[in-house]
Amino acid sequence: QREEWAKLKDEPTITKDGAQVELAANIGTPDDVAGALHNGAEGVGLYRTEFLYMGKSELPSEEEQFEAYKSVLEQMGDKPVVVRTLDIGGDKELDYMDLPKELNPFLGFRAIRFCLENEDVFRPQLRALLRASAFGNLKIMFPMIATLEEFRRAKGILLDEKENLAAEGIKVAENIEVGIMVEIPSTAVTAAQFAKEVDFFSIGTNDLIQYTMAADRMNEQVSYLYQPYHPAILNLVNNVIEAAHKEGKWAGMCGEMAGDPIAIPILLGLGLDEFSMSATSILPARTQLSKLSKEQIASHKEELLAMSTTDEVVEFIDQLVNKA
């Protein structure tokens, strides 16, 4: 099996019927890039920047961030690198920020909500990213976007810093794609409106599932409700992909679901363009995809989306891809 995987390491990801998708890696530090490339990543689909901020006594400087982003971009060469801006709060705390305790941290002051209110934290990160953009193929992504106004404000600040850098004579890449994570049901439902303004979507199913099912992703007692293949999730995912394609944009996924062998055929059939996962899942996923027919699964899309329960979905997809 490992030999079968190894053969596909430097190959594009092509399905049995000739459709192409991108398999990217989720990373947390510049040190993860070597492993991603070794496992055949075609890009970085999610660079979680929280590690730069966590486990220390103060905010990372713009310079420190610039070095980290530049390192990732240089190591990846021409390959795309999607960097997510700071997603703090929820399960990820920063001791030195002294944020108020909240009753519901996952529904609280986190990620883009925090950044928009703390520009002294947000702007240095954006400047570091823009400066690093000259060294590779950077795409910038905002986390936990719930409304279009949030996206517009965040992008406005980004463009403002871009102008500042231009005035300082610092080189910044042209045409950096700016996209959002789709982790909140409001955004998944109104994806058509977002698609007119964002350059891409990356579906964050880890959070999207918990918010859609109202089941804390860390709470064992309600884990039975945490159902990635539930028709509610599949319909939201489908809505996002269709909205993106209608506007000529791409849709990826960077939650755990993207590397899940049961979900992969479903996501392929729904038309997902980019699958971002832990590095070690990439070659198994590429092998699996090489044996799937996108058209065959897509021809059953309406049926799939009309299913009533998770069990029905799982049984249906098993019949379709394994027993056909």
Least distance CB 102 / ligand PEP (angstroms): 17
269 binds, among Mg ion, ligand PEP, none (CB under 5 to 8 A by kind): none
**Residue nearer to ligand PEP on the CB measure, 40 or 90:** 90
Measured distance CA(104)–CA(91) in Å, rounded: 11
254 a catalytic residue: yes
150 binds, among Mg ion, ligand PEP, none (CB under 5 to 8 A by kind): none
Catalytic residue among 25, 41, 145, 254: 254
Judged by CB under 6 A, which stretch of 94-102, 116-124, 164-172, 204-212 contacts ligand PEP? 204-212
User: From the list 255, 265, 271, 284, which residue makes contact with ligand PEP (rule: CB under 6 A)?
Assistant: 255
User: From the list 30, 179, 204, 265, which residue makes contact with Mg ion (rule: CB under 5 A)?
Assistant: 204
Least distance CB 271 / Mg ion (angstroms): 22
**Residue nearer to ligand PEP on the CB measure, 146 or 254:** 254
Judged by CB under 6 A, which stretch of 129-137, 163-171, 188-196, 203-211 contacts ligand PEP? 203-211
> Residues annotated as binding site?
48, 84, 183, 206-207, 217
User: From the list 150, 161, 207, 273, which residue makes contact with Mg ion (rule: CB under 5 A)?
Assistant: 207
127 binds, among Mg ion, ligand PEP, none (CB under 5 to 8 A by kind): none
Contacts of residue 105, defined as CB under 8 A and 6 or more positions apart, other chains included, come to 89, 90, 91
Q: Tokens representing 220?
A: 């064992």
Contacts of residue 16, defined as CB under 8 A and 6 or more positions apart, other chains included, come to 290, 291, 292, 293
Subset of residues 74 to 133 that bind ligand PEP, contact rule: CB under 6 A: 87
The torsion angle over the Cα atoms of residues 279, 72, 76 and 256, rounded to 10 degrees, is 30
**Residue nearer to ligand PEP on the CB measure, 46 or 244:** 46
User: From the list 48, 70, 139, 162, which residue makes contact with ligand PEP (rule: CB under 6 A)?
Assistant: 48
Measured distance CA(306)–CA(238) in Å, rounded: 12
Subset of residues 297 to 316 that bind ligand PEP, contact rule: CB under 6 A: none
Contacts of residue 111, defined as CB under 8 A and 6 or more positions apart, other chains included, come to 86, 87, 88, 89, 90, 143, 144
Measured distance CA(109)–CA(112) in Å, rounded: 9
What single-letter DSSP state applies at residue 28? Answer: S
User: From the list 183, 199, 273, 274, which residue makes contact with ligand PEP (rule: CB under 6 A)?
Assistant: 183
Subset of residues 163 to 192 that bind Mg ion, contact rule: CB under 5 A: 183
Cα–Cα–Cα angle for 183, 42, 262, nearest 5°? Answer: 55
Measured distance CA(21)–CA(241) in Å, rounded: 13
Q: Residue count at the site for ligand PEP (CB under 6 A)?
A: 10
206 part of the interface to ligand PEP, by CB under 6 A: yes
Q: Please check whether residue 149 is in contact with residue 190, taking contact to mean a CB–CB distance below 8 angstroms.
A: no
Contacts of residue 48, defined as CB under 8 A and 6 or more positions apart, other chains included, come to 26, 27, 28, 84, 87
Burial class (CB in 10 A: 0-12, 13-18, 19+), 10: exposed
**Residue count (the chain):** 324
Least distance CB 72 / ligand PEP (angstroms): 17
**Residue nearer to Mg ion on the CB measure, 123 or 217:** 217
Q: Please check whether residue 308 is in contact with residue 273, taking contact to mean a CB–CB distance below 8 angstroms.
A: no
207 part of the interface to ligand PEP, by CB under 6 A: yes
Which phi and psi (to 5°) does residue 178 adopt? -125, 120
Q: Which residues are catalytic?
A: 254
Residues that bind ligand PEP (CB under 6 A): 46, 48, 87, 183, 204-207, 254-255
Residues that bind Mg ion (CB under 5 A): 183, 204, 207
